[in-house]
């Protein structure tokens, strides 16, 4: 199993940037696809993007619309979510998740392991 912990969330002003980190432990997740999702109260968890073990990426064309970059540092068992030009509507709990089957998952159901989430709040 892999344990995931997100960090780096917080309060940022509109127009600002933020980098959220997903750190894995328990085993290496170098070959896992790691996805990012976000969720606001009363809404379903929304796909933000993923990065595969080989570094291939896919982003939600609607969510964060080109204002996000996902990267990974396999040596540190870490995946990053960098967000730019943040807007108040980006306020959410952001989760990372790992998929060990190599599935290019855009649905939460395709991920086996989840972090606890980190709150990102964008003030206007």
* pLDDT average per 10 residues of sequence, the chain (124 residues): 94 97 90 95 95 92 86 94 96 96 90 96 96
Which pLDDT value is given to residue 57? 92
Chain centroid, CA 5 distance in Å: 11
Q: How many CA atoms lie within 13 A of 111 on its CB side?
A: 27
Per the DSSP assignment, residues forming a β-bridge with 99 are 33
């Amino acid at each position: 199993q892999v344990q995931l912990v997100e960090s780096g969330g917080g309060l940022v002003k509109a127009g600002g940037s933020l980098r959220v980190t997903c750190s894995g432990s328990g085993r290496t997740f170098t070959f896992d696809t790691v996805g990012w999702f976000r969720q606001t109260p009363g809404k379903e968890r929304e796909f933000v993007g993923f990065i595969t073990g080989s570094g291939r990426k896919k982003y939600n064309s609607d969510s964060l619309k080109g204002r996000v970059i996902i990267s990974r540092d396999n040596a540190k068992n870490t995946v990053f979510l960098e967000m730019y030009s943040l807007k108040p509507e980006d306020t959410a709990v952001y989760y990372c998740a790992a998929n060990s089957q190599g599935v290019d998952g855009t649905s939460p159901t395709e991920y086996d392991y989840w972090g606890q989430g980190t709150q990102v709040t964008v003030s206007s």
